[in-house]
Amino acid sequence: MEGEPKGIPIHNKTKLIRTINDIVHNASEKEIPVIFVRDVDGADGAGAGFEIHEDIALPNDCDILDKAATNAFYGTNLLQRLQSLKIEHLVIMGC
């Protein structure tokens, strides 16, 4: 979440993180499932460029899904997870 390695910064990063935390907190309070997606292409699937930003508050019961493609559904079990949870609407956040 630090931006592209070539130095393109994340626009309004502090506000973005605060907004993500607020929405995740509200979802958790209402027992709405939260799934985070990490891109294994970022930092070769390890380290700070791969991990979820340290300022994002991860709920204890959240799922973390690793993807290898641009599409989070391709080659993952995301669709099956959503179907098993009977999810009909998604809120997608990040950068």
Residue boundaries of the structural domains of the chain? 13-84
Q: What is the mean pLDDT of residues 80-88?
A: 95
Distance between CA 24 and CA 19 in Å, rounded?
9
> 């979820």: which residue's tokens?
52
Phi, psi of 47 (to 5 degrees): 85, -170
Inform me whether the pLDDT recorded for 79 exceeds 60. yes
The identity of residue 77, as a single letter, is N
**Structure confidence at residue 70 as a pLDDT band (50, 70, 90):** confident
Residue 75's Cα: distance from chain center in Å? 17
Distance between CA 33 and CA 12 in Å, rounded?
26
Tally of residues, the chain: 95
The pTM score is 0.78
Class of domain 13-84: alpha beta
